[in-house]
Amino acid sequence: MKNYVLLAMLLAGAACSRGAASKDSVTAQASGPSGAPRISATSAGRASASNGPRTILFLGTSLTAGYGLDPDSAYPLQIQRMIDSAGMTYTVVNAGVSGETSSGLLGRLDWLMRQPFDVVVIETGANDGLRGISVDAMRRNIHQTIERIRQTRPAARIVLVQMEALPNMGKAYTQHFRDAFPQIARTSNVVLLPFLLDGVAGRSELNQADGVHPNYEGERIVARNVWKGLKPLLR
């Protein structure tokens, strides 16, 4: 229950912070259309797709953007360092946006897919749960996102991150929301990672002063959570 209480607070903060500077870039590679984020990557990402490393694209909310943290402390950039330490040739691109819903992600997808990528990690739906958006609508948005990625980048590996809904939405909604992610993963044949904030949500010592976003220590745990599931796919 503590996990869900903190998640409720976190999502509220994410929704309020939409459009605010979230410190989510290391090197600005391009500016998107009006309202779209500036995509960021490590310095290795400046190499061309043909000569440089393969690319992992992270799509998500403020949790992926690294809200409230130094740019290189967001979990995707921490994963870049894990990749480098493992001697793998991948470059991380962080395209997280604070407050984004699954429909918002779908709306900016065409712009995001202008760049090449080999693996895409999708963290979405949390703000849908905050707003009480229909789980069926969220499911359709995620399905469409996956299918459009597959049509445009058929060789890309697709990874979906499990998210959770708020307990105050009622037991039926919460369970329906939770079940949607493994259902999407099965029907779309994508890899499902565990709940992003596993081991972090509900623990004040692992969250920022606002009580809603992981602090530096908490973000390191989030990075390890994602890396544990992602690493086998990169070998």
What's the predicted TM-score (pTM) here? 0.81
What are the φ/ψ torsions at residue 39 (nearest 5 degrees)? -75, 140
pLDDT along the chain (235 residues), means of 10: 41 42 32 46 41 88 94 95 96 96 97 94 94 97 98 96 88 96 98 94 89 91 96 92
Cβ atoms of 196 and 129 closer than 8 Å: no
CATH of 2-44+52-234 given 3.40.50.1110, 2.40.50.140, 3.40.1160.10, 3.40.50.150 = 3.40.50.1110
Please report, for residues 109, 110, 128, 181, 192, the alpha-carbon distance to residue 189 in angstroms, rounded to integers and kept in the order given. 20, 21, 22, 12, 9
Residue with tokens 């789980």: 135
Catalytic residue positions, numbered: 62, 210, 213
| Local structure of 33: helix, strand or coil | coil
